[in-house]
A and B are shown apart, each in its own frame.
Chain A
Amino acid sequence: MSGWLARYADLVGSDTLHALESLARRLRGHRIVMVNTTRTGGGVAEILHRMVVILEELGVPTSWELMEGDERFFGVTKKIHNALHGRAEPLTEADREVYLERTRAEAGRLKLDGDLILIHDPQPAALIAHRKLPGQRWVWRCHIDLSRRDPDHWEFLSPWVSRYDAAIFSAIEFVPPLEIPTYLVAPSIDPFSAKNREMEPEEVDSVWERLGLRQRGPWVTQISRFDRIKDPLGVIEAFRMVRARRPARLLLAGGGASDDPEGVEVLAQVMERAGQAKDVAVLELPPGSDLEINALQRGSTVVMQKSLREGFALTVSEALWKRRAVVASAVGGIPLQVLDGQTGLLARSVEGAAFQTVRLLDNPVLRRELGAEGRAHVRGNFLHTREVRDYLAVFASLV
């Protein structure tokens, strides 16, 4: 065992890796091709970088093909992406033609020479119409929450999805009606990435200092993009209740404001509300602030994720991995990560979030226990090795 697998052995145990190797042996003689539209930025590219290497190390030949597009194509796919998330914009005939034309062109260029093809997200979904060969198995991996999908956009996309041999979704709530086998595979985090790697306390302190956060804690933080569904105003409200009873500071940090008009509006409201409250800091993080996020999570006494709606919310797993005490809403994929009272505390209201936060601030032993259990839970369920295992199982079920 070498390379990335050897690094994982210390974390998950060699017995778990031997089990992975055994599953991989079921795919001897097969070849996987992954397809998405970007090599940088975003969670999908992040995971593919690691996954391709891990699968190769497990002896399953795997390649990664990139579907390319121009500004018009990505404008249309952004529209589809938003609409599948519930923010509908009409899909015009011209939009459809742009999508289909680019698909045809890329279908002729991409090297889809494996027998197991894993297509990520809606952008390359229609490739199947042009390239599926007899004997190949095509799987569509949807990383998006489709529970509030716009019906017109889904109607456009679903005829292609229905041609796949199987589809994979991150949570059961995201699964649309489909006639093909659908599997549930939760996303995962990379323990060796800048966002999750170990940091010495001095390094953590220096990042906090560099970001201008020199005041003593305890710090309660929510690190999420400035979006209404993350309920930053609710977090401030909950913190005001906490602050009335205990000395503490709140940090709201996140990105997403600069390229999103709604984000700008939300950030402005947050700034205004924070200005009226005591001991609240707001920090807008530029893209690529992974190390900063890592340090902010590690330096927090309590990490909050008080979302009103969520996809999977891997930020929770990131905090649990760092042994942080977490208070989070029971929405989306959060209850899979936060088992109430075991790996963190759940809240269903502003008062509930305040109550749970006070409990944690007062009780270092509880914080330590939840942190330790939370880390163990992530180790077993939300690291890349588990996601690789699930993909191997999906493919093994198809060959």
Chain B
Amino acid sequence: MTEPVPFHFSTVAHLELPAGWVATDLDGLSEGIAEVPADSLFNHVTRIGARHPRARDLPANDFARWVGTALQDPETAERLAFAGAQPIRPIEDLRAALVAILGSVPKRRRSESVPESAAFHFVRARSIVAGLALEAGEPERIVDLWEGVDLAAVFYHLVEARVIGPKADDLCLWLRARGAQSMAEGAEALSSAGLPLARLRREIAVRWRRALIPRRVVRRAEVPEEVRRSEERAAAAKLAGRLRGAPRERDRP
């Protein structure tokens, strides 16, 4: 029997580089979308979320914003926004959906162009992955580590690894393989919704903790009374410390 593989958390930095395609009208945008490598397409629909992890309301993807602001075509912009709003989607499906929307725009509007200075430049993203020295042997341990994982890592394990790979870094896949079906389903449902990353991390943590309550209650009942009391005192002291301390910058609204 083989040993179960632990899950290693990693963070990611996206190195952006020119993809070599530039569009000044909807036809050019459509050609670019049809031709650029998958990482470029993925980058353009997801980087707004990666760059705005704490937004209350995520702005539309790069294509939609360019069409709305540079080409001043709000109708096409909103259609592109909707098509790109679902981060967990096979890239080729996404590509086909975007190209279909652009193809359905009346021909006259498709060739209305902007000057070079307002052109859309396609950008590729090369992922530089670095291990976080956080490892979970059991799904329960994932819950303990989850809130110490940076938002780039949340994006990498829940969105990028799932859509682009590598599969070994897909957290939901690992949870399923370890029998944590409900944890995987919860994470999948929330990450498919395209929430801002900070909210996604928070809501997943809440859902996972809730899912683990029955198991933890049983385990807690087995802990000696004395140990339980001392742990409760420590938790109360920690809470008091947090209430006394000033809020950190990133916690402020």
Contacts and interface: CB of A to CB of B under 8 A. Distances in A.
Is chain B a partner of chain A in the same complex? yes
Task: State the majority secondary structure of interface residues on A.
Answer: helix
A15 B53 CA distance: 13
Interface stretch (B120-128, B176-184, B229-237): B120-128
A135 interface: no
Contacts of B250: 10-13, 379
A18 interface: yes
Given A18-B150, A26-B130, A339-B59, A390 B15 contact: yes
Contacts of B13: 23, 389-390, 392-393, 396
Contact of B52 (A181, A335, A377, A393): A377
A15 B51 contact: no
A346 B68 CA distance: 12
Contacts of B152: 19
B51 A340 contact: no
A22 B18 contact: no
Given A183-B17, A184-B18, A342-B55, A19 B132 contact: yes
Nearest to A12: B250
Contacts of A331: 117
Interface in B114-171: 117-118, 121, 123, 126, 128, 130-133, 148-153
B17 A181 contact: yes
A390 B125 CA distance: 12
A186 to B, nearest CB: 9
Contacts of A339: 52, 59, 65
Nearest to B72: A348
A10 B246 CA distance: 11
B147 to A, nearest CB: 8
A40 interface: no
A342 B48 CA distance: 12
Contacts, number: 105
B226 interface: no
A366 interface: no
A172 B121 contact: yes
B224 interface: no
A34 B118 CA distance: 34
Interface residues of B, number: 39
Contacts of B219: none
Nearest to A332: B117
A17 B169 CA distance: 21
Contacts of A82: none
Interface in B15-71: 15-18, 51-57, 59, 65, 69-70
Contacts of B57: 342
B248 interface: yes
A294 interface: no
Contacts of B133: 22
B253 A18 contact: no
B76 interface: no
Given A393-B14, A396-B128, 10 more contacts: A10-B249, A19-B152, A22-B10, A25-B130, A184-B16, A184-B18, A330-B118, A376-B52, A377-B55, A396-B13
Interface of B: 10-11, 13-18, 51-57, 59, 65, 69-70, 117-118, 121, 123, 126, 128, 130-133, 148-153, 248-250, 253
Interface of A: 10-13, 15-16, 18-19, 22-23, 25-26, 172-173, 175, 181-184, 309, 330-331, 335, 339-342, 346, 372-373, 376-377, 379-381, 389-390, 392-394, 396-397
30 contacts: A11-B249, A12-B250, A13-B248, A15-B151, A16-B150, A18-B11, A18-B148, A22-B130, A22-B133, A25-B130, A172-B18, A173-B117, A182-B17, A183-B17, A184-B18, A330-B70, A330-B118, A331-B117, A339-B52, A339-B59, A340-B65, A342-B55, A372-B253, A376-B55, A380-B54, A389-B13, A390-B15, A393-B15, A397-B15, A397-B128
